[in-house]
Amino acid sequence: MTGAHPAGDTPPSDQKSPTLSRRRLLGVAGATAVGGLAIGASTAAVIATRDDDHPSSGVVVPFRGAHQAGIATPAQDRLLFASYDLSATAERDDVISMLKEWTLAAERMSQGDPVGEPAASEYSPPTDTGEAEGLHPARLTITVGFGPGLFTLDGKDRFGIADRRPAALIDLPSFPRDELDPARCGGDLCVQACGDDPQVLFHAIRNLTRIARGTAVIRWSQEGFGRTSSTTSSQSTPRNLMGFKDGTDNLLSDSAEFASNVWVTGADDPGWMTDGSYLVARRIRILIENWDRSALNDQERTIGRTRDTGAPLTGTAERDVVDLDAKDASGSPVIPVDAHVRLANQDKLGIHILRRGYNFTDGLDPRVGQLDAGLFFLAYQRDPRKQFVPLQTNLAADALNEYIRHVGSAIFAIPPGARAGDWIGQTLFT
């Protein structure tokens, strides 16, 4: 699939000889500033390995194609996600100029190159911030999305495109048990940077933010580590911070059902979104301390699977069919009526979404003295009105709600990819 090839199908680029020793970060101690705003305040834990030890460190994921990379691409190890607000003084031409520059910069960085040519003079600011010099591309993908605020703000048609807002780009409804922090919600634009090296991701977001200066600023951001679902059949199922395998029944990018559930088609409205998708991002905090005090039996009944193998309570292996009709000796359902796997069963609901979530940890919440950690949930789909909204609504009675809180939320239209000579968003603005 053009622009979103599995790493195994993409030949590595010429290997660069790193001039810098590499430390793979679980997080960055404290808060690291980008464009005047903090990106991450995660743990200080460091795993000392070299970037070039990673089997995919030299792999280039093509940036250009019918679809944006970072969706059907096999999920990488790391995430840095940024949501942006457009300046109140930004004009249509400013936004277009920024998107053109982002496209060129993203393509270069995806190849492991600096964002631009060297500065003409030593007295001029460098065109690239330099921290990725000598590092491998690390399967970097950069995915750009448009939020509702790009089209209208307080009822005002900001850039002459209000009538082009997709009907599927809805304002998400309030869901039961939402405890949303406005500072972690929404955004006019988003950039999802995924890869296998946190410094490469930081470099990508830092430089795009620098390019956007005067037109857009970061509203909120989120670091992620340890993918929480498999996105291709070749990947093993990872574990989330609850210790359970996560995403066993995820929609896989190499499955027959993928395209019809993820990509917008020419039969959908509007036409400029053809080959695009819709992204719902949810920051889900896990009440780690409460979960850790729960008995294993309660944890497994809450999820509906065993912790060690990931098998449904009605089976013995992870991929065994989830038998929702099975009863125990007393006649009660083996899988409880409020178990997560029952209420989130996509086959039963006839709803399929692509999950590309990541674990996160942002240190301690000083208000309560507990870990601020959980799942940064990213769901790609063809139409959130028919997929995410009914799925999330069905989870209102989920037993898992005792241990989680949805504290951040946003929705974005992900436009089609940029073919040769095009730029991201061109179909919208022309």
In a domain, 172, yes or no: yes
E strand segments, 295-395: 354-355, 358-365, 370-381
In a domain, 304, yes or no: yes
Which amino acid is present at 56? Answer: S
Neighbour count for residue 7 (Cβ, 10 Å)? 18
In a domain, 226, yes or no: yes
CA–CA separation, 7 and 16 (whole Å): 18
Lowest mean pLDDT among 118-122, 187-191, 314-318: 118-122
In a domain, 4, yes or no: no
In a domain, 86, yes or no: yes
State the total domains in the chain. Answer: 1
Q: What is the pLDDT of residues 214-223, one digit of tens each?
A: 999 999 999 9
Print the domain residue range for 112. Answer: 21-429
* Residue 120: per-residue pLDDT: 78
| Predicted TM-score of the model (pTM) | 0.88
* Residue 52: per-residue pLDDT: 52
* Residue 53: per-residue pLDDT: 55
Res. 11: pLDDT tops 90: no
Phi, psi dihedral angles at 173 (to 5 degrees): -70, 165
Using CA atoms, how far residue 257 sits from 199, 279, 414, in Å, is 35, 18, 19
In a domain, 14, yes or no: no
In a domain, 12, yes or no: no
Give the orientation angle of helix 198-211 with respect to helix 92-110, to 10 degrees.
Answer: 150
In a domain, 9, yes or no: no
Identify the bridge partners of residue 312 per DSSP, sorted by sequence position.
305
DSSP symbol at 13:
-
- Residues 81-96 have a mean pLDDT of 98
- Residues 55-75 have a mean pLDDT of 92
* Residue 252: per-residue pLDDT: 94
